[in-house]
Amino acid sequence: MSESPAPFISAPGKAFLIGEYGALHGFSALVTAIDVRAHAGHAKSPIRDESAVVRCVRDAVAEHLGLESRAALGPAPVVDTRRFSLGLRKLGLGSSAAVAACVAAYHLQRAKPELSLTGLRETALSIAFHGHRAAQGGRGSGADVVSSTLGGTIRFASIDAVTPVRHPKWLHIGFVDAGKPASTTSFVKAVEARRLEDRATIDRVIAHFGHCSDQFQAAFRPLAGDETAAGQYTAIDEAVSAHNSGLRRLQKLIDRPIMTDSIERIIAFAARFGLAAKPSGAGGGDLVVVFSPDRASLDQFAVELFRERRIPLLQNLAVAAPGLRVERRPPLSSRLSGFFKLDIAARRAAVSRVTALDAESFTSIDTGALGLESADNLIENVVGTHELPFAIATNFVINGRDFLVPMVVEEASVVAAASNAAKMIRAGGGFIAHADPPWMIAQIQLARRGDEGFPAREAAERIERERDALLDRADRAHPRLVARGGGSRGLEVRVLADDMLVVHAIVDCRDAMGANLINTIAEELAPHIESITGWTAGLRILSNLADRRCSHVIARVPPKALRSNLCSDSWSPEDVVDRVVAASRFAELDPYRAATHNKGIMNGVDAVILATGNDWRAIEAAAHAYAARSGRYAPLAVWRKADDGWLEGRMSMPTAVGMVGGATKVHPAARLALDLLDCRSAAELGEVIVAAGLASNLAALRALATEGIQRGHMSLHARSIAMGAGATGDELETLTAQLISSGEIKHDRAVALLRALRAGSGAINTPE
d(CA 413, CA 411): 7
Between 28-42, 153-167, 722-736, the lowest mean confidence (pLDDT) is in 722-736
Catalytic residue among 112, 599, 624, 641: 599
**H-type helices in 466-563, by residue range?**
467-477, 479-483, 515-533, 559-563
Q: Which residues contact 57 (CB under 8 A, 6 or more apart)?
A: 99, 100, 103, 104, 127, 128, 131, 132, 135
The pLDDT of 202-209, averaged and rounded, is 96
Residue length, the chain? 768
Maximal CA-CA distance, the chain? 98
Whether the per-residue pLDDT at 762 is higher than 70: the answer is no
Taking only the tens place, the pLDDT of each residue in 624-666 is 999 999 999 999 999 999 999 999 999 999 999 999 877 777 7
pLDDT computed for residue 179 by the predictor:
86
Residue 393: Cβ within 10 Å count? 29
d(CA 283, CA 86): 18
CA angle 656, 685, 389 (to 5 degrees): 95
167 is catalytic: no
Q: Judge contact between 283 and 182, C-beta under 8 A.
A: yes
Catalytic residue among 615, 648, 684, 687: 615
pLDDT computed for residue 4 by the predictor:
58
Residue 234: pLDDT band (50, 70, 90) is very high
Residue 363: pLDDT band (50, 70, 90) is very high
Catalytic residue among 64, 107, 132, 713: 713
Q: Judge contact between 542 and 451, C-beta under 8 A.
A: no
Whether the per-residue pLDDT at 737 is higher than 90: the answer is no
pLDDT computed for residue 767 by the predictor:
41
d(CA 405, CA 674): 9
d(CA 253, CA 263): 19
Residue 630: Cβ within 10 Å count? 8
CA angle 90, 639, 611 (to 5 degrees): 80
Q: Judge contact between 382 and 375, C-beta under 8 A.
A: yes
Catalytic residue among 294, 411, 578, 744: 411
Count helices and strands (H / E) in the chain.
26, 22
Taking only the tens place, the pLDDT of each residue in 250-260 is 999 999 999 99
d(CA 373, CA 423): 41
pLDDT computed for residue 768 by the predictor:
38
Taking only the tens place, the pLDDT of each residue in 79-100 is 999 999 989 888 999 999 999 9
d(CA 191, CA 169): 35
pLDDT computed for residue 444 by the predictor:
98
Backbone angles phi, psi at 37, to 5 degrees: -110, 140
The pLDDT of 158-180, averaged and rounded, is 94
Taking only the tens place, the pLDDT of each residue in 587-620 is 999 999 999 999 999 999 999 999 999 999 999 9
d(CA 327, CA 265): 40
The pLDDT of 251-271, averaged and rounded, is 96
pLDDT computed for residue 7 by the predictor:
81
Q: Which domains does the chain have, with CATH numbers?
A: 8-314 (3.30.230.120), 339-436+549-705 (3.90.770.10), 439-542 (3.30.70.420), 712-759 (1.10.8)
Averaged confidence pLDDT in the chain: 92
411 is catalytic: yes
pLDDT computed for residue 463 by the predictor:
98
The pLDDT of 699-709, averaged and rounded, is 86
Nearest to 83 by CA among 148, 34, 149, 17: 34
Q: What beta strand segments (E) does 418-480 contain?
A: 432-435, 439-447
Whether the per-residue pLDDT at 368 is higher than 90: the answer is no
pLDDT computed for residue 328 by the predictor:
84
Residue 80, strand partner residues:
39
Its pTM stands at 0.90
Taking only the tens place, the pLDDT of each residue in 52-62 is 999 999 999 99
Residue 3: pLDDT band (50, 70, 90) is low
**H-type helices in 45-174, by residue range?**
52-65, 95-111, 117-135, 143-150
Amino acid at 679: C
pLDDT computed for residue 720 by the predictor:
73
Q: How far is CA 222 from CA 26, 51, 263, 277, 291, in A?
A: 26, 41, 29, 20, 15
Rg, Å, the chain Cα set: 29
The proportion of the chain whose per-residue pLDDT surpasses 70, expressed as a percent, equals 97
Whether the per-residue pLDDT at 765 is higher than 70: the answer is no
Between 146-150, 499-503, 720-724, the lowest mean confidence (pLDDT) is in 720-724
The pLDDT of 708-727, averaged and rounded, is 73
Backbone angles phi, psi at 592, to 5 degrees: -65, -40
Backbone angles phi, psi at 165, to 5 degrees: -125, 135
pLDDT computed for residue 766 by the predictor:
43
The pLDDT of 435-446, averaged and rounded, is 97
Three-class SS state of 14: strand
Taking only the tens place, the pLDDT of each residue in 94-125 is 999 999 999 999 999 999 999 999 999 999 99
d(CA 503, CA 494): 6
pLDDT computed for residue 48 by the predictor:
76
Residue 351: pLDDT band (50, 70, 90) is very high
CA angle 536, 537, 538 (to 5 degrees): 115
Nearest to 142 by CA among 36, 53, 211: 53
615 is catalytic: yes
578 is catalytic: no
Q: Judge contact between 29 and 23, C-beta under 8 A.
A: yes
**Residue 69 exposed, middle or buried by CB count within 10 Å (0-12, 13-18, 19+):** exposed
